[in-house]
Amino acid sequence: MDLEFADTSQKLYICPGETAPISYSVHLARLARMYPACQDCPLSCDAGTNSAAISRKLAQHRDRASAELSRSLGSIRGVYLNQITRRVAHDVVGQFAQQLWEGTHRVVRTHRRERIEQWTAPTVVIGYDQRPSSPDIVTGVQDGLRVMGCDVIDLGLTTGPELQFGILHNQATSGMLVTGSGHSPSWTGFDFFDQNAQPLDISGLTVPRPGEPPRKHSRPVRWSGQHRFNPVSSEFAKRVQQHLRPARPIRIVVGAQDQIAIDHIRHVLDRLPNDDVILVPLPKRVRDITDPEDADIRKVAETMLANSADLGFVIDEDARHFAVVDDEGEQITTREVAEFLDPSALPVTAPITSAAKALYGPGCITFRSQTIQNAASLTLVHLITALSRRIGTASQLLRAQ
């Protein structure tokens, strides 16, 4: 009787996070194509004759993946695929959903078992911006919330102010926007809001590195949450349009980089004659909305001067921050705009903390007495209404404060 013995001369390779062994050739193939698990594998140095080249690639890949995430109050930003993937989004959302469930039910321990009483499933409003990576990431967000038993109200393609309005409009528990605003097009991330549509403290959320094994989240219920698609863009535009009451014709030039923002402005300003509204598409880039020499601000100023317009307005990617240009092509500061408008416009003055700068920094006015508080389009309609009710040019009126 012949006995077969295991070949102990062959090394056993098992990738981190997996249980099945792989052959040496598969090990080399995964190293060559930078398999995610190879980043943390102690056997990544075993690359045969290509060890030097593989080691350089792994070092470069680790450097890119280890770049620090950008975190501020209520927001997380990272490089798409290098730092934030659909799987990472699913993991982050699992932690977020656990926090939401802790505030929606009460656990009572009896002599037999532990049961949940007086609980209600959290309702989360979600949306995403126009970055190419956003549809992929929002899929992980939606799946993660539903797996954790949260009901999802999906706004689809939207902006930050619209999502905040959607939270209040639907009386939701929280909101989450997939966006990389404030960074280059290769970045993505999340904005988190509470039931009052204010930025949520997410300092306790941990963002795993791509390739790390997923964290285990205990499901509070055995069924998945419900999903409902309910865009609020039309209702949001109507609420903004209510404040547009021009007393005389005013010709304006509005620049925006996203089609959704351009369509929103076209809807909000449809009461004005078509010849009085000139829309300027802007490139997808990171701009300094407070710099008068910024290329996009100068582009709007030149378009305004060429068309003899009364006012120029630049809307930044987040749909909150803006820049105003007068009839002479010069930028007006946020403070000058706020002082010209109704006293309910409260600009944020220095010092501004880095945590709050994303939502309430220079170039953003908050109308705290209104449901929609810090949308750039709301500032625009208030500005048009105020200018039309006074005699004089924008440069005379706005700089006379």
Q: Of 14, 43, 66, which residue constitutes the final position of a domain?
A: 66
- Are the C-beta atoms of residues 189 and 84 closer than 8 Å to each other? yes
User: Are 77 and 43 in a shared domain?
Assistant: no
State how far the Cα of 93 lies from the Cα of 204, in Å rounded to an integer.
Answer: 12
User: Are 325 and 255 in a shared domain?
Assistant: yes
pLDDT tens for each residue of 270-326: 989 988 999 999 999 999 999 999 999 999 999 999 999 999 999 999 999 999 999
The closest alpha carbon to 174, from 158, 191, 156, belongs to 191
User: Are 217 and 250 in a shared domain?
Assistant: no
User: Are 19 and 36 in a shared domain?
Assistant: yes
State how far the Cα of 48 lies from the Cα of 263, in Å rounded to an integer.
Answer: 57
3-state secondary structure of 254: strand
Look at residue 360 in the predicted model and tell me its pLDDT.
Answer: 39
Q: What is the mean pLDDT of residues 267-271?
A: 94
Q: What is the mean pLDDT of the chain?
A: 84
pLDDT tens for each residue of 53-81: 766 766 666 555 546 788 998 999 999 98
Where do runs of H (alpha helix) occur along 279-374?
A: 295-306, 334-340, 357-360
- Are the C-beta atoms of residues 110 and 103 closer than 8 Å to each other? no
- Give me the CATH number covering residue 187: 3.40.120.10
State how far the Cα of 266 lies from the Cα of 234, in Å rounded to an integer.
Answer: 12
Q: Which of 19-28, 220-229, 240-249, 375-384 has the lowest mean pLDDT?
A: 19-28
- Residue ranges making up the domain that contains 365: 234-398
pLDDT tens for each residue of 215-241: 777 888 888 999 999 999 999 999 999
Look at residue 12 in the predicted model and tell me its pLDDT.
Answer: 74
State how far the Cα of 38 lies from the Cα of 46, in Å rounded to an integer.
Answer: 11
User: Are 59 and 81 in a shared domain?
Assistant: no
User: Are 96 and 196 in a shared domain?
Assistant: yes
Q: What is the mean pLDDT of residues 118-137?
A: 92
Look at residue 113 in the predicted model and tell me its pLDDT.
Answer: 55
Please determine, for residue 114, whether its predicted confidence score (pLDDT) is greater than 70: no
Q: Which of 56-70, 199-213, 258-272, 373-387 has the lowest mean pLDDT?
A: 56-70
Q: How confident is the model at residue 359 (pLDDT cuts 50, 70, 90)?
A: very low
Look at residue 346 in the predicted model and tell me its pLDDT.
Answer: 45
Q: Which of 232-246, 264-278, 386-400 has the lowest mean pLDDT?
A: 386-400
What one-character-per-residue DSSP string does 134-168 give?
Answer: HHHHHHHHHHHHHHTT-EEEEEEE--HHHHHHHHH
Look at residue 366 in the predicted model and tell me its pLDDT.
Answer: 84
Look at residue 19 in the predicted model and tell me its pLDDT.
Answer: 75
User: Are 196 and 97 in a shared domain?
Assistant: yes
User: Are 266 and 216 in a shared domain?
Assistant: no
- Are the C-beta atoms of residues 70 and 189 closer than 8 Å to each other? yes
User: Are 151 and 242 in a shared domain?
Assistant: no
What one-character-per-residue DSSP string does 171-240 give?
Answer: T-SEEEEE--TTS-TTEEEEEEE-TTS-B---TT---PPTTSPPPP---SSSSPPPEEE---HHHHHHHH
The total domain count for the chain is: 3
Which is more confident, 110 or 55?
55
Q: Of 205, 231, 257, which residue constitutes the final position of a domain?
A: 231
What's the predicted TM-score (pTM) here?
0.79
Which is more confident, 176 or 371?
176
Which is more confident, 56 or 380?
380
